[in-house]
Amino acid sequence: QVQLVENGGGSVEAGGSLRLSCAASGITSSTYCLAWFRQTPGKEREGIAQIDHEDNTALAESVKGRFTISRDSAKNILYLQMNNLKVDDTAMYYCAAEPWCRLLRSVLRVDFSYWGQGTQVTVSS
């Protein structure tokens, strides 16, 4: 059973930084994708950053140059370093995982089977 547990959310002023982490367990497939999504009330969940088992990455245009996705394969932890945060980045952030997956041509995937419980990020002006 795949389990994902996020940490690191909080409140920060615009221009500040936060690092989210997601502890992943139970992924036994040789290929997989890990991702960060975010959602605000009344809006669809938005994929913002993804990485696969070969460290191929994909980023949404809205976060390029500000957010970095990475993983520690030894510890099975996914990270999202968020710099120069904006008020519009305020959202609930979710970690997601999809076994038997690889990223192609830096295209963000939408189909993920496993989700964490989410962690809130609030950016104030």
Out of 10-14, 37-41, 77-81, 100-104, which region has the weakest mean confidence (pLDDT)? 100-104
Q: Which tokens is 25 given?
A: 């367990």
- What average pLDDT does range 103-119 have in this prediction? 92
Q: Which tokens is 51 given?
A: 């990485």
Report the C-alpha gap between 71 and 35 in whole angstroms. Answer: 10
Statement: residue 118 has pLDDT above 90: yes
Instruction: Mark 29-49 as b/e (b = at least 16 C-beta within 10 Å).
Output: eeebbbbbbbeeeeeebbbbb
